[in-house]
Structure 1
Amino acid sequence: MRERLGPAWRRLAAWRWQWLVALPAAGGLYVLLLIPFTPSISDIRKAKLEQPAQVLTADGKELAVFKRSNRQWVTLDQVAPAVVQALIATEDHRFYAHHGMDWRRTLSSAFYSLQGDLQGGSTLTQQLARNLYPEEIGRAASLNRKLKEAITAFKIEALYSKDEILETYLNTVPFLYNAWGIEMAARTYFDKPAAKLSVIESATLVGMLKGTSYYNPVRNPERAVQRRNTVLSQMVKREVLAADEFERLKKRPLRLNFERQEVPTGMAPHFAQQVRKWLIDWADSEGYNIYTDGLVVYTTLDARLQAQANQAVRNHTRTLQAIATTNWNKRDGWRTDNPLVQSLVRESAAYAALREKGQSEQAALQALLQDKALMQQLRQSKTRIEAGFVAMEPETAAIRAWVGSRDFATDAFDHVQQARRQPGSTFKPFVYGAALEAGISADDQRVDAAVEIALPGGEVWRPSDAGAPSGQSMRLRDALAYSKNTITAQLVQEVGPTKVARLARNLGVRESALQAVPALALGASPVTLLEMANAYGSLVRGGAYRAPWMVTRIEDRTGKVLAEFVPHPAEQAMDEADSYALIDMMRGVVDKGTGRDIRRRWGIQDDVAGKTGTTQNNADGWFILMHPHLVAGAWVGFNDARITLRSDYWGQGARSALPIVGDFTHKALQRKDLQRHARFEAPADSAWWHRWGSSLHQQWQAWWLSQAQPTAPQAPQPARPGVQPIPAPQPAAPAPLPPESIEESIPSLPAPAALPPPAPNDALDVWMEQWSAPDAATAPQPDHTLYPPAVLGSPRQAP
């Protein structure tokens, strides 16, 4: 036989005893080499004592806790004994006898698995190791993973008692529906604490551990009952449950009392999400873990201002929602023959599902249009008013309040930092600021005349206002106060859209792309509310830009300061004198222009300045207000820009967004720690007599204009490059903007404004109008911004 094997095989056969020694030695060496790649003793201790980061407001109120999961830790004596009995009987009945690995169970599992009957052989300690360290140990069904799992189990057994291991296991195991640990599982599935779980309830939860989705008692109740009875039979086998009790219990139904566990949102969930993103980067660079190291993070947010912001958004969006619901009822806007409604149905997941099943486009559409439940759900989601609000301290760019949506649980999309929408006339101050930088004075005049601006490709842009042009000369400060599109369009051609875009970027619009085209002057390029509010804050800072500031300091769990943060360095973006001159122009918006409800309705008589904004077809309403110590801005609209309030009155930024800012600012200025009577300060190098004379001149000019009688229109000024004034008509009373004057720039979809407007005598609109504006003659005119369809793209939509 040896002769036939050959020399090599004969040598191997001679070494058979050496192989019997070498193979185990090699295996032992491999295990030793794996040890450094398993969790260390300190890691295990940290997991046992992990503390999530706690985020606080500037005044010490809890804002958020960054947990790994929705889990409430309970001690073993706070868990029903039946849970422990069921767990040990089913998962590891020799738990108290082994030291991390059950060799008998491991060898038995390997034997049956080689025969094709796959069986698990992990002890509770091994399962705990895998649950605590999924990345270090891995999930692959391999020998390497099993060895890492066993090594880590030995380490855990060396550190902790059996009861501590059981306690940790029961508090870390997942149970679906955002519930981790036995306490949250008991509350989720049976609406009771873990201490009060019955035998049958304990068996149900322990049974889920074999496969939480497969044995989900909510979705798969029959499987859950079968698995529960298997657990009960194991308890009988291990003599912790009587046989007659098992016979009685196995026939009982599940009797769930299911309640999904939601993640706590806190007072400012969108702001907390921004802090979390920033904190993860900081912790990674500094060697900390936000989930385990007990960090205490102090932010710039003010709890009282945040509460006022939440209330202002909640109150005024509720009013607007009532209007939207009325204007989009089944008899009026939300009709099955409305092309927009049909387009929304075609974009739904239900429509895609019917098309995948083979239904034709028309058949699928008609089937869904007749589905009352689906149409109601679609109408509610699409016509839901949304809002964003942010307040900042202009001196430091510190965030003081942040409301990303009406309800984080319903819509987690952040309308402060994520949503990019066309800003409308709130972008105009950058045009006038660029004009000031070019040497043009706020008291220079331009003619309010219709204009035509030639665009590349032979197209012509004809920006217009709600009313016909007056044909009269108007000071630039008044043109900004009354938000005149015609004069703003002339001005952007004088200074150039590139300079306007550059100034906006320098002041704070740094993340959104700005197209250097004439329509930029009227807010054509989508931006975020945070960018706009911070850019206005730069004006209050004398033209100096600062990045938004969110975190002031970070401490460890003992109170030791790990890091402190100061406001970001300032970058001079605009001349200080020009910045003050622009603020002085924007005072006119709230003194006599489109934002005068700030003084008339909300009674704010302090030194403030701001700007309203309304985009085409009233899709977006904006308002941003500046005070020397507070900047507040709001956006209101729908996630889908094709949906509007269908009201030229309520769709204006002065009616939709301004009340939120007015309500908030009125309450904020009542605080004793805010110098409400502070004034915007002119640059130090401006002589006092010059400031006094300028103020006196402005007051006299305002009085003279209020007394002057209408005169014949003046001749337009000579044409400027690229601007063609059209002969002005005779002065006429402002007329409301026709709904069809300019169509939406959304291809292949009809403009929502094409739908019939609500009846003028609608009871809700009449009541709202009387409540908000008792004197219709003094109501501000609509602040519309009209764009050339060739220039604009669709606003970024919320997911």
Structure 2
Amino acid sequence: MRLLQSLQPYAVRVGYHVRHPTRRGVLIAIAALPCLLVGYTLILIPFTPGIRDIRRAKVDRPAQVLSVDGKPIAEFRPSNREWVSLKDVSPNVVKALISTEDHRFYEHHGIDLKRTAGAALHTFSGDRQGGSTITQQLARNLYPDDIGRAPTLTRKLKEAITALKIEALYTKPEILETYLNTVPFLYNAFGIEMAARTYFDKSADQLDVVEAATLVGMLKGNSYYNPVINPERALQRRNTVLAQMVKFGDLDASKLAALQKRPLRIDFERQTEAPGPAPHFAQQLRKWLIGWADRNDYNIYSDGLVVHTTIDSRLQTMATQALTRQANQLQGIADANWSARGGWRDNTVLVQAFVRESAEYRNAVAGGEAPEAAMKRLFADKPFMQNLRETKTRLQAGFLAIDPRTGEIRAWVGSRDFTTDPFDHVQQARRQPGSTFKPFVYGAAFVKGRKPDDTIVDQPVEIPLAGGEIWRPSDDTAPTNKPMKLSDALAQSRNTVTAQLMQDVGPSRVVGLARAMGVRESRLDAVPSLALGTSPVSLKEMVAAYGTIADGGEYREPTMVTEITNGDGEVLATFSPARPERALSEADDYTLLDTMRGVVNRGTGNAIRTRFGIRADVAGKTGTTQNNTDGWFILMQSQLVAGAWVGFNDSRITLRSDYWGQGAHSALPIVGDVFSRALRARVIDGNAKFEAPDNHHWYSDLWTRASDWVTGLFAKKPEPRQKAQVKRQASAPAPANETGAQKAANPANASAPTPDTASGPLPVPIASAVLAQPDDASPASTPAPHGTTIPGVPGEWNGPGGVPPGTSMPSAPTGGVILSPPVPSQNPPQNPQVSPAPAPAQ
């Protein structure tokens, strides 16, 4: 309060002088304005780009991305630009630019005070004009975030300061070269070289004076003077540029009239960057690398970084080719099933929904057209309907392979064609995994103490849900009403047995195990139907989780980069494999792994053996969701885990085939193709085996010896002949016809389980297996190893299930496990892409 009272006299005096200015006061005020402006300018200097940043911006050294075997994968450029030197640019371009944008370019030092003052006078008089020099425009183009584009005094001062710095660092030719290589020209074309290719299909050094004037004319307003969309405006602007060239002596006046009569002659072709061998992987890597570079003060576009990734170029090529081959084959089936006279015509209600969801329909209704009229018009538009059908029924697929020992990603194919289908079906897409989720249920059961030889009665199951619903999971064959081993239930992918096992284990335990093993980003609903994979997940999560199984129960986060160096080979950063996290004990994990071998050896995934002739120690699981919407297959080997998903972007579209829609026939061939080629090329070792956990401890030997010594004190010594008999029995070999599964069950072999792949069928010739073998081999028609009789294995699809809300529950089923009380949950809706459906999924 005292401070305000003391300042009051000064405020009164200032107010008096403002109301009654003197000549001296006016002169002081006028002199103070420049001082204030200079002071404010000095304050802004630290907030403008530094000298180091300007030097870096001129040098175009994009980050190079290499595979683990040294092959180039991608190059990270800030835009679709190709830097060319000034001598490789037509002189017509330079003359047109200087005459139009900055005719005193060679006379000033970044700021043209005369032009700035003239522009200010015109602006005050109502005719707004720009006074920026080429150097100021370059500063604005290079540093839009630091300088901005708002029409304020602060922005103009920052622009002027940066222009002065640029002029102090670079020569005039260097400034022109940098400007011409950084200026935008629409359609993702940056720089004069890409502009020349985009609009005239030629290089920058071949541009004539008319073409040069057209491109320079666009700089005043790219969209407004776009020669493709607004040719009349572009023509007028081009003629203005030609007149400016005559005005400042860069063009003969006698040629002006003839040149202004010439048409634009645009030869437009949008320029696209080559996607590279692993475009979806590179897209994810770019996001990660930008964050790393920002934290460590690097620029991925200009610092010449060399990123060494985990991708194996050989596996990447194999995966891309395998996915393309299988997708093309399945596309032919989809086209036949969804032809204009087939499934497309038979699903009128669905097609109407597609039309209503289209941009054309929404724009028509928003524009005032009646919905019925818009629908009728679009249905009559044959090109529109054909494009809609081809877009909706375009089959998609994704593939991912990792090294389970390190978590390093070896191959990543996000779609059939990155240019046409940029959406990534490995990390971005969330789809129901079907039966590929079942290993989490069986793994949780093994953790709880269950054994593969434990049995559950294969019988009809009814599980009450919240809201009065009853879930009735089913299989494509009738229940046998007989006890079935857990190992057989997983191999044959029995839904009824898995649902009962889920009730015994509890959904919460299954969710917890799935999280620990690698499904960490997607939402998992702890409901009974989760046992059949009703919660959408990503392919990356599932492959990572299977990598946990293949690596002895330890989860490793998937990684993309091993090290980053500069252009001189100096190491800037190294990245070790992710720290392992224990999700399953070694014993429980090996039990699960050994059980999943049965899927490949005698179950739904046996085409790996019969069709592709793979004899390596492998395990895996197929998956097919309701109505054959999604097909999955994931295969594990000690050095490689690979998975594939096949489906459509819109889950309402399916292959409409109970055979081809199954994961064993849609996704498995992609994985099988990659594995068979990788084994032949020795990218992975075909002799590598999963190692059983070593449960042998030093104290067990001590205890055994002590027990034998105590027993020997009181035991009656046997006759010598009996000794020999006992010795011969202990060394007796296993029966010649004993299968791998029997060996594992034999107590004599319990200390060293033998992979049951060792007794698998002999490999078929690769050429005939891949090219001639029909994709109709079913487990029921395939003989088991060494003539063992195996009951027929049904296909995976199970048909619809579930009943409307309010249906009463019959008496509880008898036999099998005792069902635990139902887990309260909301009634899952029918849309499989939103939340788990009550219907069974396989």
Q: Assess same fold via TM > 0.5.
A: yes
Q: Where do 5+ consecutive residues of structure 2 fail to align?
A: 1-14, 702-729, 746-770, 783-792, 804-826, 835-842
Deviation at 1:101, TM superposition (A): 1.4
Question: What is the rounded CA distance, in whole Å, between the counterparts of 2:71 and 2:736 in structure 1?
Answer: 44
Question: What is the rounded CA distance, in whole Å, between the counterparts of 1:368 and 1:202 in structure 2?
Answer: 43
* Equivalent residue runs for 1:139-154 within 5 Å: 139-154=149-164
3-state SS of the aligned residue for 2:23? helix
C-alpha change, 1:118 and 1:695, in structure 2 (3 Å) is farther
Aligned equivalent of 2:768: none
Partner residue of 2:441 out of 422, 431, 435: 431
Percent identity over the alignment? 60
Task: Work out which of the two has the higher radius of gyration on C-alpha atoms and give 1 or 2.
Answer: 2
Partner residue of 1:261 out of 230, 249, 271: 271
Deviation at 1:368, TM superposition (A): 1.4
CA contact (8 A) 1:336 1:369 kept: no
Aligned equivalent of 1:713: none
C-alpha change, 1:157 and 1:278, in structure 2 (3 Å) is same
Partner residue of 2:828 out of 783, 791, 796: 791
Aligned equivalent of 1:475: 485
Aligned equivalent of 1:178: 188
Question: What is the rounded CA distance, in whole Å, between the counterparts of 1:511 and 1:168 in structure 2?
Answer: 44
Question: What is the rounded CA distance, in whole Å, between the counterparts of 1:333 and 1:7 in structure 2?
Answer: 88
Q: Which amino acid aligns with 1:782?
A: G
Question: What is the rounded CA distance, in whole Å, between the counterparts of 2:237 and 2:325 in structure 1?
Answer: 50
Aligned equivalent of 1:526: 536
Question: What is the rounded CA distance, in whole Å, between the counterparts of 2:18 and 2:482 in structure 1?
Answer: 109
Q: Which amino acid aligns with 2:532?
A: L
Question: What is the rounded CA distance, in whole Å, between the counterparts of 2:633 and 2:163 in structure 1?
Answer: 60
The answer as to 2:376 corresponding to 1:366 is yes
Aligned equivalent of 2:456: 446
The answer as to 2:690 corresponding to 1:680 is yes
3-state SS of the aligned residue for 1:784? coil
The answer as to 2:391 corresponding to 1:381 is yes
C-alpha change, 1:53 and 1:695, in structure 2 (3 Å) is farther
CA contact (8 A) 1:388 1:415 kept: yes
* Equivalent residue runs for 1:619-630 within 5 Å: 619-630=629-640
C-alpha change, 1:529 and 1:227, in structure 2 (3 Å) is same
Partner residue of 2:234 out of 221, 224, 228: 224
3-state SS of the aligned residue for 1:400? strand
Aligned equivalent of 1:349: 359
3-state SS of the aligned residue for 2:641? strand
Question: What is the rounded CA distance, in whole Å, between the counterparts of 1:20 and 1:545 in structure 2?
Answer: 73
Aligned equivalent of 1:132: 142
Question: What is the rounded CA distance, in whole Å, between the counterparts of 2:54 and 2:315 in structure 1?
Answer: 42
Deviation at 1:361, TM superposition (A): 2.8
Aligned equivalent of 1:303: 313
CA contact (8 A) 2:630 2:646 kept: yes
CA contact (8 A) 1:524 1:792 kept: no
The answer as to 2:607 corresponding to 1:597 is yes
Question: What is the rounded CA distance, in whole Å, between the counterparts of 1:211 and 1:7 in structure 2?
Answer: 48
The answer as to 2:98 corresponding to 1:88 is yes
Q: Which amino acid aligns with 1:794?
A: N
Deviation at 1:252, TM superposition (A): 1.4
Aligned equivalent of 1:422: 432
CA contact (8 A) 2:441 2:531 kept: yes
* Equivalent residue runs for 1:487-526 within 5 Å: 487-526=497-536
Partner residue of 1:772 out of 771, 775, 784: 775
3-state SS of the aligned residue for 1:669? helix
Q: Which amino acid aligns with 1:89?
A: S
3-state SS of the aligned residue for 2:345? coil
Q: For residues 526-547 of structure 1, what are the alpha-carbon distances to aligned partners after superposition, in whole Å with 9 as ceiling and x for unaligned?
A: 1111111111110111111111
Question: What is the rounded CA distance, in whole Å, between the counterparts of 2:672 and 2:687 in structure 1?
Answer: 16
C-alpha change, 1:697 and 1:560, in structure 2 (3 Å) is same
Q: For residues 28-86 of structure 1, what are the alpha-carbon distances to aligned partners after superposition, in whole Å with 9 as ceiling and x for unaligned?
A: 22222221121122221111124222211111111122211111111110001100011
- 670-679 or 505-514, which deviates more: 670-679
Question: What is the rounded CA distance, in whole Å, between the counterparts of 2:828 and 2:471 in structure 1?
Answer: 9
Structure 1 length normalisation: TM-score? Answer: 0.88
Aligned equivalent of 2:591: 581
3-state SS of the aligned residue for 2:75? strand
3-state SS of the aligned residue for 2:665? helix
C-alpha change, 1:378 and 1:650, in structure 2 (3 Å) is same
3-state SS of the aligned residue for 1:15? helix
C-alpha change, 1:85 and 1:683, in structure 2 (3 Å) is same
Structure 2 length normalisation: TM-score? Answer: 0.83
Question: What is the rounded CA distance, in whole Å, between the counterparts of 1:484 and 1:47 in structure 2?
Answer: 61
* Equivalent residue runs for 1:538-557 within 5 Å: 538-557=548-567
Aligned equivalent of 2:118: 108
The answer as to 2:339 corresponding to 1:329 is yes
Q: Which amino acid aligns with 2:439?
A: P
Deviation at 1:379, TM superposition (A): 0.5
Question: What is the rounded CA distance, in whole Å, between the counterparts of 1:346 and 1:9 in structure 2?
Answer: 69
Deviation at 1:694, TM superposition (A): 13
Deviation at 1:788, TM superposition (A): 4.1
C-alpha change, 1:796 and 1:241, in structure 2 (3 Å) is farther
Aligned equivalent of 2:726: none
Q: For residues 137-166 of structure 1, what are the alpha-carbon distances to aligned partners after superposition, in whole Å with 9 as ceiling and x for unaligned?
A: 110111221111111111111111111111
Deviation at 1:358, TM superposition (A): 2.6
Partner residue of 1:397 out of 407, 411, 417: 407
C-alpha change, 1:670 and 1:362, in structure 2 (3 Å) is same
3-state SS of the aligned residue for 1:386? strand
Question: What is the rounded CA distance, in whole Å, between the counterparts of 1:694 and 1:383 in structure 2?
Answer: 54
- 214-223 or 10-19, which deviates more: 10-19
Q: Where do 5+ consecutive residues of structure 1 fail to align?
A: 705-767
Question: What is the rounded CA distance, in whole Å, between the counterparts of 2:351 and 2:21 in structure 1?
Answer: 85
3-state SS of the aligned residue for 1:772? coil
C-alpha change, 1:188 and 1:657, in structure 2 (3 Å) is same
C-alpha change, 1:261 and 1:686, in structure 2 (3 Å) is farther
Q: Which amino acid aligns with 1:459?
A: E
Deviation at 1:98, TM superposition (A): 1.2
CA contact (8 A) 2:115 2:131 kept: yes
CA contact (8 A) 1:35 1:151 kept: yes
Partner residue of 2:471 out of 452, 461, 471: 461
CA contact (8 A) 2:474 2:801 kept: no
CA contact (8 A) 1:542 1:580 kept: yes
Question: What is the rounded CA distance, in whole Å, between the counterparts of 2:428 and 2:177 in structure 1?
Answer: 42
C-alpha change, 1:8 and 1:399, in structure 2 (3 Å) is closer
3-state SS of the aligned residue for 1:637? strand
Question: What is the rounded CA distance, in whole Å, between the counterparts of 1:574 and 1:12 in structure 2?
Answer: 89
Q: For residues 316-336 of structure 1, what are the alpha-carbon distances to aligned partners after superposition, in whole Å with 9 as ceiling and x for unaligned?
A: 000000000010001111117
CA contact (8 A) 2:610 2:777 kept: no
Question: What is the rounded CA distance, in whole Å, between the counterparts of 2:18 and 2:213 in structure 1?
Answer: 60
Question: What is the rounded CA distance, in whole Å, between the counterparts of 2:584 and 2:591 in structure 1?
Answer: 11
Aligned equivalent of 1:236: 246
Deviation at 1:11, TM superposition (A): 5.6
- 175-184 or 681-690, which deviates more: 681-690
Question: What is the rounded CA distance, in whole Å, between the counterparts of 2:92 and 2:440 in structure 1?
Answer: 70
Aligned equivalent of 1:535: 545
The answer as to 2:568 corresponding to 1:563 is no
Deviation at 1:337, TM superposition (A): 6.1
Deviation at 1:775, TM superposition (A): 8.3
Partner residue of 1:340 out of 350, 353, 375: 350
Question: What is the rounded CA distance, in whole Å, between the counterparts of 1:8 and 1:411 in structure 2?
Answer: 69
CA contact (8 A) 2:338 2:393 kept: yes
C-alpha change, 1:546 and 1:667, in structure 2 (3 Å) is same
Deviation at 1:293, TM superposition (A): 1.9
Aligned equivalent of 1:210: 220
C-alpha change, 1:523 and 1:409, in structure 2 (3 Å) is same
CA contact (8 A) 2:604 2:779 kept: no
